Amino acid sequence: MLQVKNIVKYYGNNCAVNDLSFEVKDGEIFGLLGENGAGKTTTFRIILGLLDADRGSVSLNGETIDYSKTDKIGYVTEERSLLTKMTVKEQLIYYGVLKGLTEKQVLDKMDDLLKEFDVLDYKNRKIKELSKGNQQKIQFISAVLNDPILLILDEPFTGLDPINVKMFKDYIRKLQKKGCSIIFSSHQMEHIEEFCEKMVILVKGKSILEGYIKDIKKDYRKHNIFIKGDINKEDFKNIKGVIEVSKKDDEYVVKIEDYDVVPKVFKKISSKEINKFVVEEATLNEIFIAKVGELK
């Protein structure tokens, strides 16, 4: 289990991470959300020991993270972090040995992983000759070569098509089942929503919202009603609790302040011909925009 306790990091007078705490249990996927410059990468670097926190502590399975532990931590950086003049094989051996594996151990595992990610044919090709998507796969493979107990993924799906995204997700789920703790940052909220049990939203290094996603959504009372039928925008006028009405194709999306508003809306349009009336919790994206927007 990863425990991050009250970490604080300053760059000069600028506070990059401000009293941040969270826990990621074994086999749990944790989402770290925030705008650019919110402190996500600094948090990752502190966890990895690349930066020293000014205050607070980070521990993995109860022990402080030092270079004897980092062999079991996988890290996929936001930007491609590969030595592009190397071949795929050389790159994986290089990173594998730096993770404490022997060359033989890397070679034994390499082919299976390359095959699983459908890049075995590129084994002897130079990294710079690969597409961005395939480079991302090599970067991911190098991070999981040593069966990590903690995997840090900073925007792992950037540059991937939906088929490859699924490939990554399947492998991440596999690691999760093996008990690997995973920290995941992404700008694409649907990935976080689909993937993570817990999350934290960072704004200027400070956590403004944290906890289990289902609880966060539950606590965030606003809902969306998706309605199809013989109606128009005017029908929702003067209903107390309706925040906004928008139309997409032939479907109306009615944003409401609370679930209690649903019966009022239904009553107002019940006399009309309705084909669809679905109530959903607000999306994580909406929560993110609302929470971050509140602070601006």
Partner 1 sequence: MMNKFWYLTKYGLKKRLKSKAFIISNIAIFLLLLAIFNIDSIISFFGGDFDLETKVYVVDNTNDSFDILKANYETIKMGINEENDNVSFIKSDKKVEELKEDIKDTTDIIVELNVDETNYINASIITENYIDTLVYQSLYQAITGTKYQKAIIESNINIDELNKIYEPVTIERVILDETKNTEEENMNAVMGILFPTLILPFFFLIVLLVQFIGGEINEEKTTRSMEVIISNVPAKVHFFSKLVANNAFVIIQAILVFLYGLIGFFSRKIFGSGMSSSFTTEINNALSSLGKTGILDKLYYIIPITIVLIVLSFIAYSLVAGILASMTVNPEDFQHIQTPIMIICFISYYLSAMSSMFNGSIFIRVLSCVPFVSFLLSPALLLIGQIGIIEVLIAIVLLIVVNYLLAKYGLKIYKIGILNYSTDKMWERIFKAAKM
Residues that bind partner 1 (CB under 8 A): 12, 45, 48-51, 67, 70-71, 73, 75, 77, 79-84, 94-95, 97-100, 142-143
What is the per-residue DSSP string for 61-84?
TTEE--TTTGGGEEEE-SS----T
Residue with the two structure tokens 């931590």: 73
Could you tell me the smallest distance in angstroms from the CB atom of residue 38 to partner 1?
Answer: 17
CB of 76 or CB of 265, closer to partner 1: 76
CB of 83 or CB of 243, closer to partner 1: 83
CB of 51 or CB of 269, closer to partner 1: 51
Torsion angle in degrees (nearest 10) through CA of 88, 92, 95, 100: -170
Q: Does residue 72 contact residue 39 with C-beta atoms inside 8 Å?
A: no
Q: Does residue 117 contact residue 140 with C-beta atoms inside 8 Å?
A: yes
Could you tell me the smallest distance in angstroms from the CB atom of residue 143 to partner 1?
Answer: 8
**CA 146/CA 136 separation, integer angstroms:** 17
Could you tell me the smallest distance in angstroms from the CB atom of residue 83 to partner 1?
Answer: 5
* Token pair recorded at residue 157: 């799906």
Could you tell me the smallest distance in angstroms from the CB atom of residue 50 to partner 1?
Answer: 6
CB of 84 or CB of 275, closer to partner 1: 84
Could you tell me the smallest distance in angstroms from the CB atom of residue 222 to partner 1?
Answer: 38
CB of 144 or CB of 269, closer to partner 1: 144
What is the per-residue DSSP string for 196-233?
-SEEEEEETTEEEEEEEHHHHHHHS--EEEEEEES--G
* Token pair recorded at residue 77: 């950086």
Could you tell me the smallest distance in angstroms from the CB atom of residue 177 to partner 1?
Answer: 25
CB of 35 or CB of 197, closer to partner 1: 35
Buried b (16+ CB within 10 A) or exposed e, 228-238: eeebeeebbee
